[in-house]
Amino acid sequence: MAQMFDPSAYGRAVADVYDGVYGTTIPDTESAVNRLAELADGGPVLEFGVGTGRLALPLAARGLVVAGVDGSAEMVRRLRAKPGGDRVPVTLGDFATTRVEGEFGLVVLAINTIFALPSQEAQVACFRNAAAHLRPGGRFVVEAWVPDPGAFRDGTALRLLSLSEERVLVEAARLSAADQMMYTTKVNLTSDGLRLLPANHRYAWPAELDLMGLLAGLEREHRWAGWDGSPYTDDSRSHVSVYRSSPGRP
């Protein structure tokens, strides 16, 4: 029997160390904020999986109206504790289905969070939910890695994510290609001890995400290899994809 998806589980497990751990591995936040501010076209902005506010807070600091959806009360408390955190209203819930009042010029789903949803059906629902929040001509931006089954040997992989005098971060992963699932546990080792950070990913190739967009009435406008707008090529290991609703949508 399939285990029921709990959108709050990930945040409960990592909220207290999220900024410290992922601050060492997340790509250039400033470039992401610059690009999102441009794509927002004045806003407002809705971030699915807003988390601790890495993107939402600097966007709000630029004068954009920003709201968020997140499954974890623990993550949202971290956001609230930061300067400007009270300026970002957050609705708790599963971002694949949770609705927020209003229309938005931009909906954002960053750093592979689309893969946190447990099935293709949930990911299709997420695209449709994003489309339902967009004003005519609005954009949905998805940032994700490109699946690379060749990086696995006998269905497993181990990679070093970060190494410094203060922290060693390693990821162990197991691939289930038939289900398009990757089961991971990050091992975070600091002077305070060892911490295991599990996460599951239902991965999808960029072309599959494009089809999800079409099913939701969204057409791909851009695909870049990163937030700096570099071209997406055969060698790209990640992508930033921009989907747009029809300007004439009723």
Mean pLDDT per 10-residue segment, the chain (250 residues): 61 73 74 96 95 94 96 92 94 96 97 94 97 97 94 94 90 94 92 90 97 98 96 96 83
Structure tokens at 83: 């300067």
Q: Tens digit of pLDDT for each residue in 5-30? A: 676 677 766 777 777 777 666 768 89
Phi first, then psi: what are they for 144, rounded to 5°? Answer: -155, 160
pLDDT for residue 4: 65
Phi first, then psi: what are they for 74, rounded to 5°? Answer: -65, -40
Q: Tens digit of pLDDT for each residue in 46-92? A: 999 999 999 999 999 999 999 999 999 999 999 999 999 999 999 99
With b meaning 16 or more CB within 10 Å and e meaning fewer, what string describes 225-243? bbbeeeebeeebebbbbbb
Structure tokens at 140: 């949905």
Give the residue from 156, 209, 148, 163 showing the smallest Cα distance to 184: 156
